[in-house]
Amino acid sequence: MSADCSFSSVLEASRQGWSAAGGDDTLLSLALPLDGIDPLQALPVLAGQASFQMLMDGAPGLCLAAAGSCQQLELAGARRFELAQRFADLSLSRLVDTSSASPAQARPRVLLRFRFFDQVGEHHHGAMPPPAVEAVLPRWQLTRQGRRGWLRLNGVVNSAAEARNLAEQLWLKYERLQGELPSIASRRSPTQLTSGNPDLWKQRYSRAVERGIELVKGGELHKLVLAVRHTIDLDDRFNPLPLLQRLRRQQAGSCRFLWQRKADDVFFGASPERLLSLRGGWLRSDALAGTAGEGDDGNQLLRSDKDRREHELVVDTLTNQLRQMGLTPCRRRQPQLARHGQLTHLHTPITAEVQGKPVLSLAEQLHPTPAVAGLPRREAMAWLRTLEPFERGCYAAPIGWIDSAGDAELRVAIRCGHARGNHLDLTAGAGLVRGSIAEREREEVELKLAVLTDQLKLQTSERNRSSV
């Protein structure tokens, strides 16, 4: 389809797409250019009554909103990366894309969310854990890069009449987004917090961190990344959009994300860490380890032997894992400083030409990185099961997308929260290596939790002021 924004052009594209496929269960994909619309703000209108909603907000880069499910896969087990890759390849190859000449940002995408562990641990209790992987070809997709945007609709059609109906749905949504957007922001209401015991996670963490430090001091582990969970009670269903809008300003270098399975199951956050991106056959991964809070401009971090060693462990492991896949990774000799709100991290980008390897086989090799699990990986994972008194769920696992050209973006889901009903779980971790001091690690975890808790407190105080 050209950039002609008329209903007749959409109708003609659907007719041609159906004629070219000419069979039952044709997976038809229609798209229209739609400039100047913010996908984050537009998500409620895009979704309508759809329970599934997803957002990857890398603004000022690519911002992607999606809603509804056209095809989906949910499964557990050790082959989850391989089977998710197969599902993505099959779904995207079946698509009859009537706008294949459109820019890269408009391409159809399969959306992916993984759980940290491929199996649920023995100490799991309470709410049902998420599947080990979810892969979704969404019904609706809205993307924006700069001010240029595209709206896409995927659907299964079995006749020319159904193809026409798909074109009508796309055009109606296109008109509605343009007509309703000015009033969207004013309709949002933030969530009210009722309680949360900040001392509970500190008590649990102090016991676990002492054992973790013993393990690295004794040489049983080179590194262990212990996480904590802080639970907050809410007085109503959690609305993530005001928080994500705020994080766009406060955490501009991060990628804000949202994965909503249904209205009372919302996973969200602002990840500073890229597991991998793939563009035109070139892979990039981010080594991100070593953290300083407000008041350190990064110079102390660069001089810290403990932080430099922790960072180098991550860089060496990522480059070695890529070499094991037959790639030739390149890295900077010295780490850079990456600032995310009040936190500063040591950061080393790693690049490699992928030579046609499936992106999820690379992701499987890299996940979990030493920045979120530890080293050696297998032993660290076993100790996480023992020392963390909760299921990690999707914390520190890959989340992102693969598009129809094979390009991909997978983030590590950290700085995140998971709201189920009236409970909001916030999770954060810190890396233990030789030289770690328990009190400093607790302070680092507190800083990371504050990325979200500070915004939630601001939201609550604003709501209280507006109701006075």
Q: What six digits make up the tokens of 306?
A: 């403990």
Helix 359-366 × helix 305-324 angle, to 10°: 140
Judge contact between 433 and 156, C-beta under 8 A. Answer: no
Residue 251: closest CA among 342, 348, 346: 342
Residue 36: CB atoms within 10 A of its CB come to 11
Report the alpha-carbon distance of residue 328 to residue 114 in Å, rounded.
Answer: 27
Residues 442, 430: Cα–Cα separation, whole Å: 8
Is the backbone of residue 450 left (phi > 0), alpha (psi -120 to 50) or beta?
alpha
Beta strand segments in 361-407, E: 374-375, 398-403
> Has 223 been annotated as catalytic?
yes
Which among 134, 173, 223, 441 is annotated as catalytic? 223
Q: Is 68 left (phi over 0), alpha (psi -120 to 50) or beta?
A: left
- Give me the numbers of helices (H) and strands (E) for the chain, helices first please: 12, 21
**Candidates 134, 173, 273, 441; catalytic one:** 273
CB atoms within 10 A of CB 443: 14
- DSSP line for 177-213: HHHHGGGHHHH--PPPEEEE-HHHHHHHHHHHHHHHH
Report the SS3 class of residue 64: strand
58 close to 105: Cβ distance less than 8 angstroms: no
Question: E strands along 22-146, which residues?
Answer: 26-33, 53-57, 62-75, 96-97, 109-114, 133-145
Predicted pLDDT at 345: 85
* Bridge pairing between strands 423-432 and 282-292: unpaired
Q: Report the SS3 class of residue 315.
A: helix
Tell me the whole-structure pTM to 2 decimals.
Answer: 0.93
pLDDT, residue 129, reads 82
The token duo for 182 is 């000015």
Question: Among candidates 388, 433, 399, which has minimal Cα distance to 273?
Answer: 399
Annotation marks residue 210 as catalytic: no
pLDDT, one tens digit for every residue, the chain (468 residues): 335 688 999 999 999 999 888 778 899 999 999 998 999 999 999 999 999 999 999 977 899 999 999 999 999 888 999 999 999 999 999 999 998 888 999 999 999 999 999 988 755 556 678 899 999 999 999 999 988 999 999 999 999 999 999 999 999 999 999 987 655 544 455 555 555 566 677 878 888 999 999 999 999 999 999 999 999 888 888 889 999 999 998 888 899 999 999 988 999 999 999 999 999 999 999 998 877 777 677 788 888 888 888 888 889 999 999 999 999 999 998 898 888 877 888 899 999 999 889 999 999 999 999 989 999 999 999 999 999 999 999 999 999 999 999 999 999 999 999 999 889 999 999 889 888 899 988 988 888 888 888 877 655 555 544 433
Cis check for the bond before 389: say yes or no (omega within 30 of 0).
no
- What is the model's pLDDT at position 466? 40
The alpha carbon of 382 is separated from its chain's Cα centroid by a whole number of angstroms, namely: 25
Q: How far apart are CA 298 and CA 288, in angstroms?
A: 14
- Residues 268 and 242: their CA atoms lie apart, in Å, by 12
